[in-house]
A and B are shown apart, each in its own frame.
Chain A
Amino acid sequence: MVTVRLFAAFREAAGKKEVNISAKNIEELIRLLIARYKKLAPLLIKNTDPLELEDIIVLVNGRSIWYLKGVETKLKEEDVVSIFPLIGGG
């Protein structure tokens, strides 16, 4: 199982701060996540088919998926995926 840590507004939408999901890559993980927690869908994705993510930060063990393989980034059992909104105000 992959450990998914949700932060800020995403935590509120899911009503959970940590979720365990069995998924082989980020795309599968995001699809399972929004199927389980419907309120997360508009926050996480722009488009379902093909899957397009909102301006959010997704880290696999601390590394941004945008430098890995994006939504095709492969996941292993013990991976920790952190998902949170990108914010920039000051």
Chain B
Amino acid sequence: MLSDKDLTRYDRQIKIEAFGKKGQENLKKAHIVIAGAGGLGSSVALYLTAAGAGHITIIDHENVELSNLNRQILHWEKDIGKSKVDSAVEKLTQLNSDIEILGIKEKITEGNVLSLLKGADGVVDCLDNFKTRFILNDAILKLRIPFFHGACYEFEGRATTIIPGRTPCLRCIIPRSPPEKKVPIMGTTPGTIGTIQATEVIKFFSGIDPLLTGKLLVYDSRYFTYELIRIEKNPECPSCGGQ
């Protein structure tokens, strides 16, 4: 399953006993959807591409703007005005030409979400609003696939890994969506949180425990803290009913 080139390319991570050739093979087979090609999406996509996730689909409906460049490191000055997914796919295929990378320029809605996620083994939440996060949350519950949540504000970040049937869903902890606005974000925050989400994806598909399941990571780079908050399923949750 792994080629000689794979064995050389991924040698340093294959050397990790808990990961090994088996972990690399499983990662190569996985089809991962990255929802959003912004700050979190840039970090997640770069690391999953470099790590050899075999099939990556990246979805975003926006074009690159100058004010994106403080944190969306997949997009450069020359890409301003271009679609984010085209800009992302261009860089990612140059980084790793051995994997399958697909860009879809579409807004995720209740109507198209199930067809967009067709064949996906996991979804990474790299969005900037809760309305779309809740659409994805409901879809992954239906499809019974894992959902890797991330969010940022200034120097703060959050991450948790949602596995239908095993952990609380996003709606269990966040019942309502806050008003949408352009929030302040230090460029490095999505870099860190995206790296954590990508690590969770790699660990999940290669079977390495423990994951951020039933735990919300609260990260603060201004005061140098990483903390875990235990989270529980909620029987009243409108999305999962605590199942």
Contacts and interface: CB of A to CB of B under 8 A. Distances in A.
Interface in B224-238: 227, 229-232, 234-237
B7 interface: no
A55 interface: yes
Contact of B128 (A7, A67, A85, A89): A89
A34 interface: no
Contact of A55 (B126, B178, B236): B178
B70 interface: no
Would you call the interface of chain A mostly helix, strand, loop, or mixed?
mixed
B208 interface: no
B156 A85 contact: yes
A67 B234 contact: yes
Interface string B16-38: 00000000000000000000101
Nearest to A62: B232
Given A88-B151, A89-B183, A90-B127, A66 B156 contact: no
Contacts of A66: 175-176
Most chain B beta-carbon neighbours within 10 Å: one of A61, A86, A87, A89: A89
Nearest to A54: B178
A88 B178 contact: yes
Contacts of B230: 61-62
Interface in B164-187: 172-179, 183-185
Interface in A61-90: 61-64, 66-67, 82, 84-90
B179 A55 contact: yes
A90 B178 contact: no
A74 to B, nearest CB: 16
A67 B236 contact: yes
Interface string A1-36: 000010111011000000000000000000000000
Chain A interface residue count: which class? 20 to 34
B227 A7 contact: yes
Contacts of A86: 174, 178
Nearest to B131: A88
A63 B234 contact: yes
Contacts of B156: 8-9, 85, 87
A90 B229 contact: no
A43 interface: no
Nearest to B230: A62
Nearest to B128: A90
B47 to A, nearest CB: 16
A59 interface: yes
A-B pairs with the 7 shortest C-beta distances?
Answer: A87-B153, A67-B236, A62-B232, A55-B178, A89-B183, A90-B128, A66-B175
13 contacts: A7-B220, A7-B227, A62-B232, A63-B232, A64-B234, A87-B157, A87-B183, A89-B39, A89-B152, A90-B38, A90-B40, A90-B126, A90-B127
Interface of A: 5, 7-9, 11-12, 55, 57, 59, 61-64, 66-67, 82, 84-90
